[in-house]
Amino acid sequence: MITPALFEFLRDLEQNNDREWFKAQKTRYEAEVVDPVTEFIENMAPRVAKISAHIIVDPRPNGGSRFRIYRDTRFSKDKSPYKTQVGCQFRHEAGKDAHAPGFYVHLSPGEVFFGGGVWGPQGEALRNIRQHIVDKPDEWKKATGKLDLRGDQLVRAPKGFDPEHPLIDDLRRKSFFSFQDADEDAVTAKDFEKTVEKQFKKVAPLMSFVASGMGLPF
């Protein structure tokens, strides 16, 4: 079970984001972040499997569903070595990067959310999803009617699509993702896994739609 200690560690890390501090706190990090998040992922595996057999839930502490805490600072002005949030991605089996359909859980002090869809698809995948919306407008509206879609949008209609299309606001989207916002109390509650599962089920029709548009099973 995730406890308030996870958020306290992340707050402390934000104030002490350097390698020497982290090295001295490594045992604490393992106990307060890695172990409970690994258990959370393990417990989510059967819940996600009931939603889709094509989504990978991998509890391995290294190389699994939990994102690494180490930041890639090569192209960033911010040279802080560590992320101050915990992210878990349950990705489609066909995906090799973050642009594949998947579920996501984000935990950081003052910012908690979880949901699913596809974030930042590129090139042909993005065009195919947009075309799928054009081809299946009623199915799209049914899948997303109760969802709050997030993400950036183009200022104008994407090339090759009618600017006057009734779903042009959705066709201008660069991502097709829906989150539920929560707080730290929700994360540390005994029913957190059930709460996340409920949201995953809610966004499953969106997941199925975008996967179909990308030619993937769901």
How much is the mean pLDDT over the chain? 95
Whole-Å CA distances, 38 to 52, 54, 127, 152, 184: 20, 20, 36, 31, 18
Rounded to 5 degrees, what angle do the CA atoms 213, 217, 160 make? 10
Rounding to the nearest 10 degrees, give the CA dihedral for residues 45, 48, 53, 57: -40
What is the average per-residue pLDDT within 65-81? 88
Q: Which residues are registered as beta bridge partners of 153?
A: 173
Measure the CA–CA gap between 95 and 210, rounded to whole angstroms: 13
Q: How confident is the model at residue 198 (pLDDT cuts 50, 70, 90)?
A: very high
Reported as a single tens digit per residue, the pLDDT across 82-136 is 999 999 999 999 877 667 899 999 999 999 999 999 999 999 999 999 999 999 9
Kindly report the pTM of this predicted structure: 0.93
Question: What percent of the chain clears pLDDT 90, i.e. is strictly above it?
Answer: 89
Q: How confident is the model at residue 74 (pLDDT cuts 50, 70, 90)?
A: confident
Predicted confidence at residue 78, as pLDDT, reads 81
Q: Under CATH, what is the fold of the domain 4-213?
A: BirA Bifunctional Protein; domain 2 (3.30.930)
